[in-house]
Amino acid sequence: MEILLITGPPYSGKGTQCNVLKELLGFEHISTGDKCREEKQNETKIGKIMSEYEEKGDLVPDSIMKDLFSKILDENKTKSGIILDGYPRTKAQVDDLIELVDSKGLKIGKALNIEVPKSELLIRAQKRAETSNRKDDKDPQIHIKRIEVFEESTRPAIEYMKSKIKVLTFDGLGTIDEITERIKDSL
């Protein structure tokens, strides 16, 4: 199984591009956010811990995410590939991911990093809040907090990841099709 990572700030269009790439590559799209919401909805032990953090816009602790990602790998071991959306988000998670992947005899193909300016992210967050039915999308303060957490924790993790695996960075401005074409050209 090959693992393709999608990273970038909140509201950058990662999920949208994952859906396109899923069809293009025939890989399974794994949204870490969706898996977290599933765990929370099912009120699992992991889910209850996650709820406490995510409802404030904070990152879930690395140890919990490592457990969740190990479960994800095990559940998808028969797939030809997965597109992982939203993990890793910290330097420690980069190391955890590489360790888990290696221990299971798998490989990370590359990471695709979508870049979008903060002003555009806030516009997209507002639009998503108007159309989504997610409780966590309704509060503009959580939008700002998510972007701040990304800048403090995830951006340094992406830079760190560049020393470990191949990371390709893309301009996330434009239409969905324009962004998809940029990504497809690199694949």
Can you give the three-state secondary structure of the chain, one letter per residue?
A: CEEEEEECCCCCCHHHHHHHHHHHHCCEEEEHHHHHHHHHHCCCHHHHHHHHHHCCCCCCCHHHHHHHHHHHHHHCCCCCEEEEECCCCCHHHHHHHHHHHHHCCCEEEEEEEEECCHHHHHHHHHHHHHHCCCHHHCCHHHHHHHHHHHHHHHHHHHHHHCCCCCEEEEECCCCHHHHHHHHHHHC
Q: What is the pLDDT of residue 26?
A: 93
Q: How far apart are CA 83 and CA 180, in angstroms?
A: 15
The tokens describing 150, both together, are 């990304």
Q: What is the pLDDT of residue 183?
A: 93
pLDDT along the chain (187 residues), means of 10: 94 93 93 86 90 78 89 91 91 94 92 95 87 74 90 94 95 94 89
Out of 3.90.1010.10, 3.90.1280.10, 3.40.50.300, 3.40.50.720, the CATH code matching 2-186 is 3.40.50.300
Q: What is the pLDDT of residue 136?
A: 66
Q: How far apart are CA 162 and CA 39, in angstroms?
A: 30
Kindly report the pTM of this predicted structure.
Answer: 0.85
Rounded to a whole number, what is the distance in angstroms from the first to the last CA of the chain? 17
